[in-house]
């Protein structure tokens, strides 16, 4: 969905032409998988980090156009709301000190962003849901002026037959609202990890990414509060799904964990895109079929928590990426890169074993684990690969941390790097202090003052310390 379009208004002829081109490009993609056209380079990692712009009163600051103009950095782009921005990292070959290189670049870009925001009397926050965001911030007046967002809102409303959305989340409190547009999604900000893979491994890595979604969301949880309500450990998960709900059958929902593992190839996801999901943005483009422009735009309007992506290198050779979307932004840069290290290492370890996850865990159990993790975080009791109940804190400590170390070693990551970044995860597990745990503990000690919570959160975030070291 990072791709801009020319208009937000479409005709029946646009939908027909787009559908023809989407089918042609899907058939072309089939041939690429069959004929081995994709690049088979060593694994490459990257990320997208979404952030809030925050005003002096600690409410969302709708100043992204002025912010981006002052910043003038191609790595930072607009998002759905005028109080959000997206920071991109330069992809790195996963070897040696790649994790630290990702961190150094992100620190430099973040510092540049902080300086630009300060010039507008604003600050930046990396957090799953800003505690001070309110329903009145999430209206069309605060939607980015880009055509793709206006069109997306209009097309989803048409699929819903103009019925309001339903936001219904039960946690410690119960939140029920009926928003009139997709802007509630802009309350969520995430840290999305990209992993470029070979086509031979893509199916295995994609399937294991689904299994890993539960522990990854638990260890990174950072979104307990929404509109003054204490909800899930990672309330961003139900909020995102409900914000983009088309209101039809489950298998047509656009933001979802999915229906099953892939059997042989991630090509199955693109077949599902064609067969199950109505086109939302029928922007017909003057691009050769080999650029897959229509297929990629359509894929960008289907928000699987794990999503296969197709890109091109400088020579025009296509490559495959897996986008792991389950984690919230923050609490710190160190935490974000540690989360990436955990994902890169564990998924490499599992995929290297060459087994299909269904041998260990039915898909329905993996999906149930994911939502249980979002509700309860590290304390969630799940059924793991030995089919015995365990808390996710136990799973991560006893199984996944050692796996991550082996996987990073297999990738060629330096031993000092492994110790540094996985050490942050180990300390977070030892203390039990995720971003969500810290926010709830702060409220328990100081009372439910969400503005004061936001001030304390930003103060600690600006220290650069990982969240397990944050005092109350």
Contact present, 395 and 213 (Cβ < 8 Å): no
Q: Which of 228, 237, 239, 191 is nearest to 374 (CA)?
A: 237
Q: CA neighbours within 13 Å on the CB side: how many for 207?
A: 28
Helix axes 333-352, 401-411, angle to 10 degrees: 80
The tens digit of pLDDT for each residue in 326-348 reads: 999 999 999 999 999 999 999 99
What pLDDT is recorded for position 247? 86
Q: CA neighbours within 13 Å on the CB side: how many for 202?
A: 28
Instruction: Compute the distance between CA of residue 299 and CA of residue 113 in angstroms, rounded to an integer.
Output: 30
The tens digit of pLDDT for each residue in 353-397 reads: 988 999 999 999 999 999 999 999 999 999 999 889 999 999 999
The tens digit of pLDDT for each residue in 446-462 reads: 999 999 999 999 999 99
What pLDDT is recorded for position 3? 66
Tell me the average pLDDT across 242-253. 88
Is the overall model pTM greater than 0.75, yes or no? yes
Every domain of the chain and the residues it spans: 12-467
Instruction: Compute the distance between CA of residue 267 and CA of residue 270 in angstroms, rounded to an integer.
Output: 5
What pLDDT is recorded for position 322? 98
* H-helix segments, 132-184: 147-159
Of 217-221, 355-359, 468-472, where does mean pLDDT reach its minimum?
355-359
What pLDDT is recorded for position 248? 78
The overall average pLDDT reported for the chain is 96
Q: For the structural domain made of 12-467, what CATH number should be given?
A: 3.30.590.20
Instruction: Compute the distance between CA of residue 267 and CA of residue 257 in angstroms, rounded to an integer.
Output: 17
Instruction: Compute the distance between CA of residue 197 and CA of residue 343 in angstroms, rounded to an integer.
Output: 14
What pLDDT is recorded for position 1? 42
Contacts of 127 (CB under 8 A, 6+ apart): 52, 189, 222, 223, 328, 329, 330, 331, 435, 457, 461
What pLDDT is recorded for position 461? 98
What pLDDT is recorded for position 8? 66
Contact present, 38 and 301 (Cβ < 8 Å): no
Euclidean distance between the first and the last CA atom of the chain, given in angstroms as a whole number: 38
What pLDDT is recorded for position 4? 64
Dihedral sign (CA 345, 202, 377, 400): negative
Work out the percent of the chain whose per-residue pLDDT is above 90: 93
Work out the percent of the chain whose per-residue pLDDT is above 70: 98
What pLDDT is recorded for position 315? 87
Q: Which of 469, 472, 453 is nearest to 54 (CA)?
A: 453
The tens digit of pLDDT for each residue in 394-441 reads: 999 999 999 999 999 999 999 999 999 999 999 999 999 999 999 999
What the block records as the tokens of 439 is 């926010």
> Residue 2 pLDDT > 60, yes or no?
no
> Residue 246 pLDDT > 70, yes or no?
yes
């Amino acid at each position: 969905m990072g791709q801009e379009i020319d208009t937000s208004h479409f005709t029946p002829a646009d939908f027909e032409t787009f559908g023809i081109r989407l089918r042609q490009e899907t058939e072309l993609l089939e041939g690429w998988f069959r004929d081995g056209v994709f690049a088979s380079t060593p694994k490459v990692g990257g990320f997208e980090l979404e952030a809030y712009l925050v005003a002096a009163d600690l409410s969302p600051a709708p100043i992204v156009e002025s912010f981006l103009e002052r910043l003038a950095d191609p790595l930072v782009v607009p998002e759905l709301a005028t109080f959000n921005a997206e920071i991109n990292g330069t992809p790195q070959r996963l070897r040696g000190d790649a994790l630290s290189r990702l961190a150094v670049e992100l620190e430099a870009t973040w510092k540049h962003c902080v300086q630009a925001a300060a010039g507008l009397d604003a600050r930046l926050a990396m957090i799953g849901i800003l505690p001070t965001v309110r329903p009145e911030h999430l209206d069309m007046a605060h939607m980015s002026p880009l055509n793709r967002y206006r069109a997306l809102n209009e097309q989803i409303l048409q699929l819903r037959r103009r019925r309001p959305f339903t936001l219904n989340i039960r946690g410690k409190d119960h939140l029920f609202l009926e928003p009139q547009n997709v802007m509630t999604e802009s309350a969520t900000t995430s840290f999305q990890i990209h992993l470029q893979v070979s086509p031979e491994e893509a199916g295995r890595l994609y399937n294991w990414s689904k299994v890993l979604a539960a522990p990854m969301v638990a260890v990174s949880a950072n979104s307990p509060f929404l509109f003054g309500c204490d909800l899930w450990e990672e309330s961003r998960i139900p909020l995102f799904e409900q914000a983009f709900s088309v209101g039809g059958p489950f298998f047509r929902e656009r933001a979802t964990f999915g229906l099953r593992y892939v059997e042989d190839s991630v090509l199955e996801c693109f077949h599902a895109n064609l067969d199950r999901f109505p086109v939302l943005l029928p922007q017909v483009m003057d691009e050769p079929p080999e650029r897959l422009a229509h297929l990629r735009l359509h894929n960008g309007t289907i928000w699987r928590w794990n999503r296969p992506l197709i890109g091109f290198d400088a020579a025009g050779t296509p490559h495959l990426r897996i986008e792991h979307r389950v984690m919230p932004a923050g609490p710190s840069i160190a935490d974000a890169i540690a989360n990436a290290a955990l994902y890169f290492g564990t998924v490499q370890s599992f995929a290297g074993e060459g087994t299909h996850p269904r041998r260990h865990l039915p898909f329905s159990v993996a999906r149930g684990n994911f939502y249980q993790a979002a509700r309860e975080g590290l304390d969630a009791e799940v059924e793991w690969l030995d089919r015995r109940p365990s808390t996710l804190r136990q799973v991560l400590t006893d199984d996944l941390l050692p796996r991550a170390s082996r996987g990073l070693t297999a990738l060629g990551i330096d031993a000092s790097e492994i110790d540094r970044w996985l050490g942050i995860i180990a300390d977070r597990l030892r203390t039990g202090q995720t971003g969500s745990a810290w926010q709830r503990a702060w409220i328990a000690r100081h009372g439910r003052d969400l503005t004061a919570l936001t001030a304390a959160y930003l103060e600690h975030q600006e220290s650069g310390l990982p969240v397990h070291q944050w005092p109350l």
